[in-house]
Amino acid sequence: MRVIVVGAGVVGLSCAVRLLEAGHRVDVVARDLPLETTSAVAAALCHVGGEPVDPRAVSWSARSGESFAALAAARQTGVRMVPGTELPSGRSLVAPVAEMPRYLSWLRARVEALGGTVTRLNLRTLPIGGDAVVNCSGIGSRLLAADASITPVRGQVVHLEQHGLDRWWLGAGPEAPYIVPREHDIVVGGTHEHGDWSRTPSPDTAALLIERASRLVPELGCARVLQHRVGLRPTRPSIRLEREGRVVHCYGHGDAGIALSWGCADDVVSLLA
């Protein structure tokens, strides 16, 4: 079967990999190439905390966790297993962290190594070619799927200089701080601003993020700022993963797209089987 995947973020590329592994011919088309997507902004702590809104997320998260643990064994993927602490419980655990620019580049290379393609294409409607279409267009589904229920949730992060921090911190609640160490920097977040389409970083917000993070790790208060990033999380009341004729929709993951990506990709393959 020839499948066109719309969207080159982490969900679209993960679906493309699984479809190619299942023997399909796959072409990925997207307005934004992988390193330009919201996925590239994510701190990418692949851990879903709290009570999931969608009961399917339990299975998606578990299967994704298994895949990330396997990927962490191969350093070239950009995935590492990192210890950390959940707040306010203080529970310690080890979870995958994906260095997103590196991980997205690996996903794209994996798609191409399996015979797939990744092409920039600005669409106004879902493609009519191919035997099937997998819609992973994220916030673009407002247009491509005529879905007004999907809205942006703006997330701003600050990248600080890495000074030897080797564990993550994850607070509870939408405005709680998180600190995610990567190989060459530390990502500090975050914000959840519903309905805000601005991709311009706010200096005041950045200062607040650093101040909150330094309460947990005091050394961060004087760490050098490397860059500011903003992403628009594609959020809707529930994740849409269903088949509609020749189209499989897979979007609306909010801030859990990376953590649920492989489990969702498995289900996309099943829906096309």
For residues 7-17, average pLDDT: 98
pLDDT confidence band for 104 (50 / 70 / 90): very high
Count CB neighbours of 88 within 10 A. Answer: 9
Alpha helices in 48-125 (DSSP H): 56-72, 100-113
The mean of the pLDDT values for the chain is: 95
Range name among 18-32, 43-57, 118-132, 200-214 with the lowest pLDDT average:
43-57
- What digits encode the pLDDT tens for the residues 152-172? 999 999 999 999 999 999 988
pLDDT of residue 47: 82
How many Å apart are CA 58 and CA 67, to the nearest integer? 14
pLDDT of residue 176: 81
For residues 34-58, average pLDDT: 85
Phi, psi angles (nearest 5°) of residue 75 = -60, -25
Percent of the chain with pLDDT over 70: 97
For residues 81-110, average pLDDT: 96
Domains of the chain listed by start with CATH number: 2-272 (3.40.50.720)
pLDDT of residue 54: 77
181 cis-preceded (ω within 30 degrees of 0): no
For residues 249-268, average pLDDT: 97
**Does residue 49 surpass a pLDDT of 90?**
no
How many Å apart are CA 40 and CA 19, to the nearest integer? 22
For residues 231-260, average pLDDT: 96
Cα angle for residues 171, 53, 138 (degrees, 5° grid):
90
Percent of the chain with pLDDT over 90: 91
**Does residue 116 surpass a pLDDT of 90?**
yes
**Does residue 50 surpass a pLDDT of 60?**
no
- What digits encode the pLDDT tens for the residues 128-146? 988 999 999 999 999 999 9
pLDDT of residue 15: 98
